[in-house]
Structure formats: C-alpha cells, structure tokens
A and B are shown apart, each in its own frame.
Chain A
Amino acid sequence: GAVVSQHPSRVICKSGTSVKIECRSLDFQATTMFWYRQFPKKSLMLMATSNEGSKATYEQGVEKDKFLINHASLTLSTLTVTSAHPEDSSFYICSAARSGANTGELFFGEGSRLTVL
C-alpha cells in the first residue's frame, strides 16, 4: 500500500514562532501533494496544492507568506506556519497523489495538530 507519513503529529509552540510540518510519501513518488486544514467537526479545507519543483498554488484566502510550502523532492513536501498565532491552532493534514497514476485516489497523512499558545 501507499503510505504517507506526517511529522510531527503534535506540536505546541509559542506565539510568534514558526513551525515546520513534513509530509513524506514513503513508498511512492508524488509529483503533487495537497495541504488541508481541519477544524473540529468541520470539513477538510484545501489550503494549497504543492507541486514538486515549482511554486505551490494557494487557495483563495490562504496567505502564502503565512503558510510557506516547499516541495523539494518527489517524496517530501513541507508546510511552515510562520509567526504562528493562536488562531493558527488547527489540525493540518497532507495528502499525496501517486505520480503517473490516474485513479484519482489520494493517500493521506495522519495529520499534525498544532497548538499555538
């Protein structure tokens, strides 16, 4: 099966600091990865599409300078929440599509819960 690993699973940070979350596809290559944010009992909200070797595409209303995305290799995308504030506290989830596949299936990481004090 296709496994996506997300790290860290939980992180607590002070307001004003930056936090980096990693998303790795362990046994497949992923040209495209996606980053979501989820509030309790709410839908996954797509934040951005991460493309290997190029700039991420951000959804409307998502600050690209606030949420920095880097997709440096076919197996790793990172999301950095810069100058975090308490309102950035949320559950962040990544997903990856297998390169070359045309099935529409996405493989999700286990999520990262960010708490900003």
Chain B
Amino acid sequence: SQKIEQNSEALNIQEGKTATLTCNYTNYSPAYLQWYRQDPGRGPVFLLLIRENEKEKRKERLKVTFDTTLKQSLFHITASQPADSATYLCALGTSGGYNKLIFGAGTRLAVHP
C-alpha cells in the first residue's frame, strides 16, 4: 500500500542546533516533493520544492535532500530558532506541474531557548 511516513513524535532541540526531519514514502514515484510549515489552526505555508532529478535544494537556513533510491527526503533547519517551532509537512506530487499533493501527517518541531 502507499504510505508517507513522518515521525509522529515531536522533535525537541536546543536553539542554535540543526533540526533534521525525515519523510519516507513507499509505493509512490513522485515527480517532486514539497515541504510546508503549518502553525496551529492555520493553513500550510510553502517552504521548498525539490524535483526527482535534484539531490539537494537550499533556501536560507533550510536544506532539503531527495533520495529516490531510498525513497526519502530530509529537511534541515540550521541555526534553529524558537520561531521555527511548528509542524512541518512533506507532500508528494505525482506528476509534473501543479497537481494534487499527497501529504504526510507532519512532524512537530519544538525549538527551546
């Protein structure tokens, strides 16, 4: 069966450290993968998109990797800040262009001062 797995347990880290979140998927062949941030009671906000032919993407303190062999994406936040505390969702897009996304359940990140 098709699955997208994100660690359901909250990730607690100290301010200034690098947070690493994992997204694993099975029985999908995504054309691209996206990461979103969601705060409580709000809609998701787009962060990064990485395509199947890309290994790594960076944006300011954010870095995403995409390993289609391992069927895994890693999302890193360097020099983390308490303001980075939120739930982070990965989403798979199964064809090119904008198309319906399949979301993981998200991982809650808590950055402590």
Q: How far is the CA of A93 from the CA of B38 in the complex (A)?
A: 12
Interface residues on chain B, size class: 20 to 34
B77 CB–A CB distance under 8 Å: no
A62 CB–B CB distance under 8 Å: no
Question: Are A101 and B98 in contact, with the CB atoms below 8 A?
Answer: yes
A71 CB–B CB distance under 8 Å: no
CB distance from B54 to the nearest CB of A (A): 12
Tally chain A residues at the interface, Cβ within 8 Å: 29
Question: Are A106 and B46 in contact, with the CB atoms below 8 A?
Answer: yes
A61 CB–B CB distance under 8 Å: no
B113 CB–A CB distance under 8 Å: no
Question: Are A104 and B99 in contact, with the CB atoms below 8 A?
Answer: yes
Contacts of B103 in A (CB 8 A): 36, 43-46
A residues at B contact (CB < 8 Å):
4, 6, 32, 34, 36, 41-46, 49, 91, 93, 95, 97-98, 101-111, 113
A-B contact pairs, 12 of them (CB 8 A): A36-B103, A43-B103, A43-B106, A44-B103, A45-B103, A49-B100, A95-B43, A101-B98, A103-B98, A106-B34, A108-B46, A111-B41
With A93-B43, A104-B93 given, name 15 new contacts (CB 8 A). Answer: A4-B43, A6-B43, A36-B103, A43-B103, A43-B104, A44-B44, A44-B89, A45-B103, A93-B44, A104-B98, A104-B99, A106-B34, A108-B44, A111-B41, A111-B42
